[in-house]
Structure 1
Amino acid sequence: MSDVPLRLLGPLAVLDAAGEPVDVGSPRHRETLAALAVDAGRVVSTDMLLDRVWGESGRGGTLANLQAVISRLRARLREAEVPAEIVTAPPGYRLEVDLAAIDAHRLATGLDRAREALAAGDAPAAREHLATALGWWRGEPLADVPQMFARAEALRLEGLRLTGEELAAEVDLMIGDAAAAVVRLQDLAAQHPLRESVRGQLMRALYLAGRQADALEEYADLRARLVEELGVDPGPAVQQLHQQILEQDPALRPATQPAPAAPATTPGPPAAEPPRPSRIPSTDLLGELVGRDRDVDYLVDLLRAPTSRLVTVTGVGGCGKTRVALAVAHAAERHFADGVTLVPLAPLRDPSAVIPAIAHAVGVAEGGDPFAALLDLLRGRDQLLLLDNAEHLLDAWPEVATLAAACPGLRVLVTSRTPLRVRGEVLYPLTPLDLPAATRLFATRAASVAPGSATSADDPDVVDLCQRLAGIPLAIELAAARVRLLTPADIGARLADVMAAEGARDLPPRQRTMRAAIDWSFELLSPTEQAVFPRLAVFVGGFDLRAAEAVLADVLDRRTDGSTDSNHGGSALAVLETLVEQSLVVAEPSAGGTRFRLLEPVAQYALTRLSPADERVARDAHLRHFTDLAAHYEPSLRGPGTVDTLAGIEREHANLVAAVEWSLASGQADAGGWLGWHLWLFWWVRGALREGRRLMEGVLAGAQDDRVRVRAGAVSSALAFAQGDLAFARAGWAVASDLARATDDVEGLPYAYGGIGLVALAEDDLDTAAAVFTETIDLTVVAGLGGEWLWTLSHVWLGTVELLRGDADRAAALVDAALDAGRRRDDPLAVYIALFTAIQVSVVRGDFTRARAQIREGVTLSMDTGDHANLAYLLEALAVVESLDGDGDLARVGVLRGAAAELRAGAGGNVYGYYRPDEALIEQASATARATRGPSYDDDVATGRALDVAAMAALADA
């Protein structure tokens, strides 16, 4: 079985070509591989991978760490020659592997072949297929992967195994091996005591094994359990089997006719009318169902599993629930002896009309109690019901759930924008299309409406448009219909028009436009929910519960008479729960806890429901909340918790930027200035220089508070300096410094004045730089706690000056003081900035072993904090070491310089103009390597540029 190297049916196992186990690395590596394997052949976004693997703990869940894990997995799979490859496929990764190389796929295909053999009457072949399929089972699937995604996949695979066991028992009975069937079925009955098909099979097997009394006792136990737990008697089929056993009916002997395709149920009473298996409309005229193969396959498997009698497909309006459900019905039809029946529910308005509608659809004669008649009929059927559009009839579903529980051969597939909240319901949230499928759908539909168009799925404008439409198929199809008149770029510029654009005339009115699709959900909300929902449109990039509470406080506290009461209107959590259930809000687990978001078309709709007065109230509350949040985060940027704080700001960065932008648009620049002051170090570390500078220049233009003007001037100058704009930085820092002195702003002054020294250092004015840094150190002491971080950096900068002057000992003393202070505060940013100058000191002294150790420490800290600009400088320092160290490797110099150049390009600027003493050494290192490597040097550089960030960082460990 070494041709099946990827095994999920037990603890995760990977085998090489010889069948030997492959060590893929740490538990985190195994978990990441599993997260890709359960969706083998499909793109899994980086966000989804982070949520699946790190979501429950949140520790270390950064993009850089994910890239490092992926890089390690790729290397191990290649080294072991495992026929599986992890490929980069925006917006994430895809595990490319022949599905036959995965044991879970072998299990599923083996069950399919067994059913086909049973249908053909070939019991020995069916038995062989089942033995092979079930032989792959090694225990609980993915038992060593604790995350929720693995538990969900394990549940699905366990359902397949149980189906296989039922089929195997039926084969045992067909070939006369009743004793083997008894052993197998007793196991299944113990696990699923209310499953009538299993208990009926066991009764029949016991009887055929000569154990009539045990068979009758089995019936008595089943009846007692059903009455106690469900309040119902066994179905007619099992009751008839009981009577046949009492009468020792010869018909219980195995038939010679071919077996049915699914596990046989025992004979039941004749149906009221002959079943009509093909009661679902053809989908031929609806066009290709793009990007949903995995959803359809999963749902078909789910409906065949013994644990999934009632499955609800949920999702936002326009995501394609009905279309997918029809495809599932067509694919599953052959597995149900009595076929599939579609019951459209959208025209109904009264929940009490649901049961009569189902009864009529399946052929129950009119008159009498429709529920009782339906229960009697469906107990004897092997049938799938497709109940479409259920969200407005929620009071009907307890009775439907009772039907599903009491009828062993019945499966119910429901489409609804909200869960039904009934016992036994299995939810399947239908998510929007991933980006490749979304762009392919756009191109396909565009070609159908404008055959001569050259619209490509790879067109950047198409990609951007599909991202903004959040992968919602209805929105994408409505947009694609406009390519007859507009280019994709023009459509994107008029996205509001897409909301109102009309689709096919033969669609129901609520599905002809995106606006109508969302209107349908909006009208189902309560007045409080209708007031809350539009306010959520002020968030950008999602939000957490606390942010929602802050923005919604006004409407949730408001009485109907205009006064306020904190107990009125319900909690934000309760309202969000309803909005999530209505598929108007998406709830997603993340490393920082549950986050909520509105898909872009839904957010656009919500804004149209928000009055100007309510919008201002909501945006002002949004600004206050995120200013407070930034103030809360700021101290942790310079001490313990820096990595988690950076991750937290990253999650909320879009909201923080939106809050500053609102402050500028609404005449509240002072508020935005304080938010930017709390946030600026994040912009520096993460290389968001252009955006941060734009915002703080806007603050500087509108601020009234002198303290805000000092800080806005200092920050905008710092970010300009990082971009290499020395003229702006010089002037801005000088103005801010003068203003800070004039207003006695002791905390703001060192941040403004110290920058003047950085410009002097960048321009080789070492005397001025030394004087400014020396005074800045004194100013930071006066500033107190607010100046501790700058005290550390000022020592680094002064140490850089001394190194340029040729005093390595004095430089070392200053940098060591900075390192001690940074480590004492557990401040990774200060430590890795100081480390770079410490590396330069080690290089000047010829201590390359120490320099390499310092580089490794700096690289680790840079990766932890996501500071790719600093990583670039560290890689260049390593290039210098490789060229100067007698044991160095000149072939690595070009690779390191290429990697550094690529990182710096991504950072958007020069970043650190005070990293200067090694500039000549870097150029010398490149010249030496080029002279030695010749034309290969350019190939080395290209190799470095092509590496991902994790592989670049790994160069420090080589």
Structure 2
Amino acid sequence: MASLGVVLKLLRDESGLTQEELASRSGLSARSVSDIERGLRRRLYADTAHRLADALSLSGAQRDGFVAAARGRAMPRPDPPALPLPLNRLVGRVDELASLGDALSPGNRRLVTITGLGGAGKTRLALEVAHGLLSAYDGRVRLLRITPEQDPDRLVDLVGTAVGALPGGGSQAVAAAVGSRPMLVVVDAFEHVLPAAPALEAVLATAGGLHSLVTSRVRLHIPGEHELALGPLPAQEARELFVDQGAGRLADSDSGLVGEICNLVSGLPLAIELVAAVGRQLPLRNLRDELAVGTARLDPALRDAVGWSIASATPAERDALTAAASFPAGWRLDGLAALVERQDLLALLRGLSDRSLVTDADDGTSPRWRMLDVVREHVLGSQPVIPEARRSAYVQYHLELLEGVQTLVGHERDWYAQLQAEEPNIEVALRWATDDADLLLRLATAMWQYWQSRGELATGRRWLERGLALQPAADSSTRATALWGLAWIAYHQGDDPTVTAAADELRRLAEARGDGAVRRNAATMDGILAIARSRPTEALTHLEAALELARRVDRPWILAASLLNLGLGSLAAGDPDRARKLLAEALRRFDALGDQRFHARCLGYLGIAALLQQDTSRASSLFTRSLNVFDRLGEPGGTAEGLEGLAAVAAAEGHPEKAAMLAGATQRLRETFAARALPVESRILGQRIDAAAATVPPEDWATAARWFRPTKRSLAPLAPVFHESVRGGVWALVAV
């Protein structure tokens, strides 16, 4: 059971709020929020609990559970949602919600577009609709955000990434990934790739199970498109939103002023939110007068509202804002300082924050800021060409950041958290480095293990292949590292020809450079490919050679990984005794290095060895320990391996229903990142699972296999089956 402090922090993190933002929304002090999260306050007044619940936009059972915990009764750690949680509650739009929910029910409309001005609330409404349709689509609801920098020619790849298709396969790959069961993809901000409308039409025509909810400022004009034009909020709902977002409780005499202010921004939700923030610092009458003077003819209202805020800033503040717009995921102070060399940068940020152009987004590790997308879009639109010097500084900053993060072996959670926060910014750096093979590959090779661990295989492969294809080519050392990353990603995707080609080039580079580490990498990929091709003797020859080369190179991590790989080859050869010795040695070395990821991987392979030795109790314990680490790290590939191992244990122990549940969860998890079951697991574990499936009617197995649906980021929906199927209740998902 989780404490109040743990629950509040989890809910705050899920809502994307800092302590200061939650404090502002709830009317508490930031110190009070901090005290609750640190466990200094374990019981709250009822009014305080309800204000926090309102600020977090909680409802239903989740709200009741939180309030109960705040009043002194513990509650389970809540399950993370399948879609991003909006930062605020949806005000109004009742009729639109009903209409969209009906139009998008499976079997009804295939394409629905919400159109309207920027700031009309299209994205917010689409998220609400998507959450409401999760059950109807059996959890198969995806979100694809389009940004201004994205290429319309890549729309099919973007949709493919959202549905878990392999890269480069076009509409057919999307159709294969979607299958026959209905799936809903929300495509947000389509106006940035409007020329790609025919491509979306082709995807929908090919993938019969795919439904799409699109938000766009312009209609797509695709046959069969159903449009919902989203206008301003009605007067009463606009006033309610203003109070909800900024002003808190108002006197009755203020109601008319609020109505005038909302009218001056044409009742557009985001414009109301912006001026409501100003209303916390400026008397409402003054705010009304300022808007009346500065925006007497609002067309469009939101752009003028943003323009008014930007125009009120000083030239130095506007320059800092322009630089900050390069960071779509927000920025740290050192990141902005790399682009804006001023001693008074913090003062500039405070000035921009006062105008609600940037907001504090402190992640608890370092000061961080962000700006609303509509502000960023306005800023970028006013500066179509970003100076080359600033682009170069941006790329160099992120390269240095990545090189620093790579030193965090043993602290993978911190490593992943930093990269997850920066990933959209790094995407910009990658795009800006596409004319320089060496620079692009240095960025991509610093990211490939993160992409692999997060299941973003298509993204990693795309950037590595792009860098490897550039001319003039990167230097041989950088190219060898990129080929190594590409080989592993392609292996997890089941693309053995690409693995072979990468290994061949690695071998040529190794000979040319006389580099033992590169030679070891080539031998490793030859061995891994031999495992995939069911040639265990050949695999052992290559992997033993790789281990010998690793000993000569004398780099601790490479040696530990080579021991692990040879242990894997021994499993493939049916020699669990040798595998166990090799894997135990690899585990010891990874533990000495503090590498949590490969600690978990060793445990999983030791679980397979135990299963081959008929020791299901030990296998269950090892798979579960591995699974705990992978789930904590948020690594879907390792998590799927652990689930499959536990499914095989359940099968071996004569529990086919539990085996089906866990095997089904494994399959659905792998569908989220388009990866294959690796050969050793597929043969050893799959054999036992298939044997269990043969003992029950196919329809019973299929029903059990559909029971649980994990997400790429969390196994929370699977907690009940772990409590039942893993002996001793060792699954610690809700442990504090």
Given the two structures, how large is their TM-score scaled by the length of structure 1? 0.50
- 1:628 counterpart residue number: 400
Report the secondary structure of 2:622's partner residue: helix
State the partner residue of 1:827: 595
| Shift in Å, 1:822 | 1.2
In the TM superposition, residue 875 of structure 1 has moved relative to its aligned partner by 0.9
Alpha-carbon shift at residue 713 of structure 1 (Å): 1.8
User: In the alignment, which residue of structure 1 is the partner of 2:659?
Assistant: 893
Partner Cα distance (1:95, 1:323) in 2? 13
Residues 39-438 of structure 1 correspond to what in structure 2 (within 5 A)?
A: 46-48=15-17, 88=81, 90-92=83-85, 287-288=234-235, 290=237, 293=240, 296=243, 302-303=249-250, 386-389=285-288
Residues 775 and 572 (structure 1 numbering): CA distance in 2 closer, same or farther, change over 3 Å? farther
Code of the residue aligned with 2:514 in structure 1: it is D
CA shift, 1:325, in A, is 11
* In 2, Cα distance between equivalents of 1:816 and 1:519: 63
Superposed CA deviations along residues 574-617 of structure 1, whole A, max 9, x for unmatched, are: 212212222222322324333222322322222233363x5322
One-letter amino acid of the structure 2 residue matched with residue 609 of structure 1:
S
Identify if the C-alpha distance between structure 1 residues 921 and 513 changes in structure 2 by more than 3 Å, giving closer, same or farther: closer
Which of 367, 371, 374 is matched with 1:601 structurally? 374
Letter in 2 for 1:881: V
State whether structure 2 residue 321 is matched by structure 1 residue 533.
Answer: yes
User: Amino acid of the residue matched to residue 913 of structure 1?
Assistant: L
Shift of 1:898: 1.1
Provide, for residues 174-225 of structure 1, a one-character-per-residue CA deviation record: whole Å limited to 9, x for no partner. Answer: xxxxxxxxxxxxxxxxxxxxxxxxxxxxxxxxxxxxxxxxxxxxxxxxxxxx
Query: Partners of 1:720 and 1:861 in 2: how far apart?
Result: 24
**Bigger shift: 895-904 or 533-542?**
533-542
Q: Distance in 1 between matches of 2:401 and 2:353?
A: 25
Q: 1:323 deviation in Å?
A: 5.5
- Are the structure 2 counterparts of residues 416 and 90 from structure 1 closer, same or farther at C-alpha, using a change threshold of 3 Å? farther
| Amino acid in structure 2 at the alignment position of 1:47 | G
One of 886, 907, 920 as aligned partner of 2:673: 907
1:332-357 CA-partner distances (Å, limit 9, x unpaired): xxxxxxxxxxxx99xxxxxxxx9xxx
User: Aligned in 2, Cα 1:864/1:286: closer, same or farther, shift over 3 Å?
Assistant: closer
2:651 is aligned, of 854, 869, 883, to: 883
- 2:720 and 2:501 map into 1 onto residues whose CA distance is 40
> Structure 1: where are the runs of 5+ without partners?
1-23, 37-43, 60-65, 97-283, 306-310, 329-343, 346-353, 355-383, 393-414, 418-506, 557-569
How far does residue 296 in structure 1 lie from its aligned partner after superposition? Answer: 2.3
**Contact conserved, 1:901 with 1:945, CA < 8 A, in 2?**
no
CA contact (8 A) 1:930 1:937 kept: no
Q: 1:608 to 1:790 in 2, by over 3 A?
A: same
Match of 1:700 among 465, 468, 490: 468
Q: Does 1:741 align with 2:734?
A: no
Q: In the superposition, relative to structure 1, how do residues 299 and 697 fare at CA in structure 2: closer, same or farther (>3 Å)?
A: closer
1:657 maps to 2:427: yes
Corresponding residue SS for 2:597 = helix
The change in CA–CA distance for 1:688 and 1:658 in structure 2 (over 3 A counts) is same
Q: Compute the RMSD of aligned alpha carbons.
A: 4.4
TM superposition shift of 1:751: 3.3
Cα deviation for residue 841 of structure 1 reads 0.9
Deviation at 1:849, TM superposition (A): 1.6
CA distance in 1, matches of 2:364, 2:293: 29
Letter in 1 for 2:496: L
1:863 Cα deviation from its structure 2 partner: 1.2
Give the AA of the match of 2:249.
L
1:781 deviates by 3.4
Residue of structure 2 in register with 1:732 after alignment: 502
CA contact under 8 A between 2:531 and 2:680: conserved in structure 1?
Answer: no
Change (3 A) 1:767 1:88: closer
AA matched with 1:750: R
Query: What letter matches 1:900 in structure 2?
Result: T
2:610 and 2:64 mapped to 1: Cα distance?
Answer: 31
| Contact 1:877/1:922 (8 A) holds in 2 | no
Q: 2:354 aligns with which of 574, 581, 587?
A: 581
* Secondary structure, aligned partner of 2:365: coil
C-alpha distance in 2, partners of 1:890/1:527? 69
Q: State the structure with more CA Rg.
A: 1
Q: Is the 8 A contact 1:687 1:907 kept in 2?
A: yes
1:759 to 529, 539, 546: 529
1:550 is aligned to 2:338:
yes
Query: In the alignment, is the contact (CA less than 8 A) between 1:750 and 1:779 conserved in 2?
Result: yes
CA distance in 2, matches of 1:791, 1:868: 25
Query: Contact 2:328–2:425 at 8 Å: present in 1 too?
Result: yes
Change (3 A) 1:869 1:326: closer
Q: Give the alignment of 1:613-624 within 5 angstroms.
A: 614-624=386-396
Could you say if the C-alpha distance between residues 81 and 580 of structure 1 is closer, same or farther in structure 2, counting changes exceeding 3 Å? closer
Cα 1:681–1:322, aligned 2, differ >3 Å: closer, same or farther? closer
Shift of 1:747: 4.3
Partner of 1:932: 696
Deviation of 1:705 after TM superposition, in Å, equals: 1.3
> What is the identity, as a one-letter code, of the residue corresponding to 2:429?
A
Match of 1:646 in 2: 416
Answer yes or no: is the 8 Å Cα contact 1:710–1:752 preserved in 2.
no
Give the 5 Å matches for 1:507-526: 508-509=296-297, 512-526=300-314
**Following superposition of structure 1 onto structure 2, how do residues 467-482 of structure 1 map, counting pairs within 5 Å?**
none
> Do residues 922 (structure 1) and 686 (structure 2) align?
yes
Q: Distance in 1 between matches of 2:554 and 2:355?
A: 52
Q: 1:321 to 1:861 in 2, by over 3 A?
A: closer
1:647–1:845 Cα change, 3 Å: same
Pair 1:597–1:951, CA change in 2 (3 A): same
**Inter-partner Cα distance in structure 1 for 2:323 and 2:423:** 19
Residue among 819, 832, 838 paired with 2:606 = 838
Structure 1 distance, partners of 2:5, 2:685, is: 39
How far apart are the structure 1 equivalents of 2:276 and 2:474?
A: 62
Question: 1:780–1:690: structure 2 CA closer, same or farther, 3 Å change rule?
Answer: same
Structure 1 counterpart of 2:221: none
- Relative distance call for 1:793 and 1:94 in structure 2 (3 A) is same
Aligned to 2:616: 848
Gaps of 5+ in 2: 24-29, 39-57, 90-230, 253-257, 725-736
Equivalent position of 1:31 in the other structure: 8
Distance in 1, matches of 2:592 and 2:325, equals 43
Distance 1:86 1:823 in 2: 31
1:286 to partner: Cα distance: 7.1
- SS of alignment partner, residue 541 of structure 1: coil
CA distance in 1 between partners of 2:353 and 2:525 (Å) = 49
